[in-house]
Amino acid sequence: MKIRILFLTAETYPTFRVDVNVLFGKYLPRHGIYSDIVAGKKPGSAEPGAWGGGETYLCDISGGQAKKHVNTFLHSIKHLFNADAAKYQAIQVRDMPLLATIGLLVSKFKGVNFFYWMSYPVPEGHILLARRRGLSEGLIKFLFPWIKGHVGHFLLYRIILSKADHVFVQSHYMKENLIKYGICPEKMTPVPMGVDIEEFQDKDIIPMDDNRLVGRRVLVYLGTFDGPRRIEILFEMLVIVKHQFPTVLLVLVGDDVDNEVQRRWLKMKADELGVNDHLIWTGWLPRYEAWRFVRSAEVGLSPIPRGYLLDYSSPTKLPEYLALGVPVICNDNPDQDQTIRQTDAGICVPYTADDFANAVIKMLSLDVRKRNEMVRKGKDYVRQYRDYCQISSNVADSYKKIFLSNHNGQND
């Protein structure tokens, strides 16, 4: 069965999101699932190469935020209304409630299926942003996300999720919570984040050759430094750990590129706590270079502060660490907690400086046999459940069951 989807996504293209780029661009076409991407083009980026999943329909989003939103919206509307029902079997919208509502109407008019891909509770995110801003940045900057959030919340939970032919959600925890809104569990498929084992096998990912790592007990954090992540807790953790392991070193691979204030505040915090000699800040790195730092570490850290929004997430860094043979210390985010309970490939504790410090000390004190057992279990788990080869097979089966069910229903 060959299926072609018009896929409208909130991410700009080319995207670093593996659940778009790898899942839809590489693996789903192997199962006969193709997708034409409708998105904004990153300002200053080179012309995109071939999109493995199908065609790309991109628009310029340079300029201010208002221009970006208007251009993206009009570009998406144009492609929705121009969608050829003879070409596409479905319209799919990712994380955009207003466009999803229009896409739902267009799909009914054109007689094609409509899918919603929910990787994040976007309306709640907008409402939280408005609350954080208050009126400190002006009335418009408060009202825009506040209105967008409340309108999106109504559209998403009252119309889109109940009327869509199928909903793909980020995690099992998200599915469980959407059931409370009355969404039929049979029409939801959890798609947790994974890794491309094939890519790991194609590359010889050797540990980073960096003199700063020599003779150190290396920990690694891979990800963003934005405020909600509370990375400063890791600095407080280092204050405790360095007393027992004076050579401990935390490599921070990532950045908060849009927030210079946050970056400066974190560096000031590290200085205040006296842990600068125990930190390496790499900034954003190409994926292969980031993985080399992970391979150099004894422990991968995956802190995801608890809260309504982040509890829905399925962190990418955890399966990446495990696939690269690095045991993990993470906190009790629902998806992470489930993974560690299933694998015993790390330690899961609350996200506090004391708890993370105790877990790091325990991990760095493990004997070789126990550590190797953790590594083996982690790799086995990723191959079985979090490899995009396997994830794509599950997602493709969901698509095909929907179309087969619809076909049988029409025959009846």
Q: How far apart are CA 191 and CA 160, in angstroms?
A: 19
pLDDT digits (tens, 9 = 90+) for 235-254: 999 999 999 999 999 999 98
Burial of 181 (0-12, 13-18, 19+ CB in 10 A): exposed
pLDDT score recorded for residue 214:
95
The CATH architecture that domain 198-386 belongs to is 3-Layer(aba) Sandwich (3.40)
Q: Which residues contact 192 (CB under 8 A, 6 or more apart)?
A: 170, 171, 172, 314, 335, 386, 391
Q: How far apart are CA 348 and CA 353, in angstroms?
A: 13
Radius of gyration of the chain (CA): 22
Amino acid identity, residue 327? P
Q: How far apart are CA 312 and CA 98, in angstroms?
A: 21
Tell me 206's DSSP state.
P
Output the tens digit of pLDDT for each of the chain's 412 residues: 899 999 999 988 888 889 999 999 999 999 999 999 999 987 766 555 668 899 999 998 877 777 788 889 999 999 999 999 999 999 999 999 999 999 999 999 999 999 999 999 999 999 988 998 888 878 888 998 999 999 999 999 999 999 999 999 999 999 999 999 999 999 999 999 999 999 887 678 899 999 999 999 999 999 988 877 899 999 999 999 999 999 999 999 987 656 678 888 999 999 999 999 999 999 889 889 999 999 999 999 999 999 888 899 999 999 999 999 999 999 999 999 999 999 999 999 999 999 999 999 999 999 999 999 999 999 999 999 999 999 999 999 999 999 887 655 555 5
Amino acid identity, residue 280? I
pLDDT score recorded for residue 410:
57
Q: Which two tokens stand for residue 52?
A: 């493995």
Q: Is 120 helix (H, G, I), strand (E, B) or coil?
A: coil
pLDDT score recorded for residue 342:
93
Q: How far apart are CA 354 and CA 227, in angstroms?
A: 20
CA distance to 119, 134, 156, 304, 333, per residue, from 309 (Å): 11, 19, 15, 11, 11
pLDDT digits (tens, 9 = 90+) for 293-323: 999 999 999 999 998 888 999 999 999 999 9
Q: How far apart are CA 296 and CA 365, in angstroms?
A: 17
Please report the DSSP string for 35-98 in residue order. Answer: EEEEEEEPTTPPPP---TTS-EEEEE--S-HHHHHHHHHHHHHHHHHT--TTT-SEEEEES-HH
Q: Which two tokens stand for residue 83?
A: 């969608």
189 phi, psi to nearest 5 deg: -125, 115
Tell me 42's DSSP state.
P
Angle between helices 232-244 and 353-364 (to 10 degrees): 40
The pTM score is 0.91
Q: How far apart are CA 116 and CA 95, in angstroms?
A: 8
Q: Is the dihedral of CA 30, 31, 35, 41 positive or negative?
A: negative
Chain-centre distance for alpha carbon 409 = 35
Nearest to 98 by CA among 147, 145, 59, 151: 151
- 198-386 and 3-194+388-411 share a CATH fold: yes
Q: Which residues contact 184 (CB under 8 A, 6 or more apart)?
A: none
What average pLDDT is seen over the chain?
Answer: 92
Whether residue 119 contacts residue 164, with contact meaning beta carbons closer than 8 Å, is answered with: no
pLDDT digits (tens, 9 = 90+) for 132-166: 888 887 888 899 899 999 999 999 999 999 999 99
pLDDT score recorded for residue 226:
82
Q: Is the dihedral of CA 81, 82, 83, 86 positive or negative?
A: positive
What is the number of residues in the chain?
Answer: 412
Nearest to 329 by CA among 227, 219, 226: 219
Task: Write down the domain spans for the chain.
Answer: 3-194+388-411, 198-386
Place of tokens 């003779």: 215
| 3-class secondary structure per residue, 219-231 | EEEECCCCHHHCC
Around Cβ 188, how many Cβ atoms within 10 Å? Answer: 22
Amino acid identity, residue 312? Y
Pick 3-194+388-411's CATH classification: 1.10.357.10, 3.40.50.2000, 3.10.20.30, 3.40.630.30: 3.40.50.2000
Chain-centre distance for alpha carbon 284 = 16
Around Cβ 184, how many Cβ atoms within 10 Å? Answer: 12
Strand-pair category, 188-190 with 279-283 = unpaired
Whether residue 48 contacts residue 14, with contact meaning beta carbons closer than 8 Å, is answered with: yes
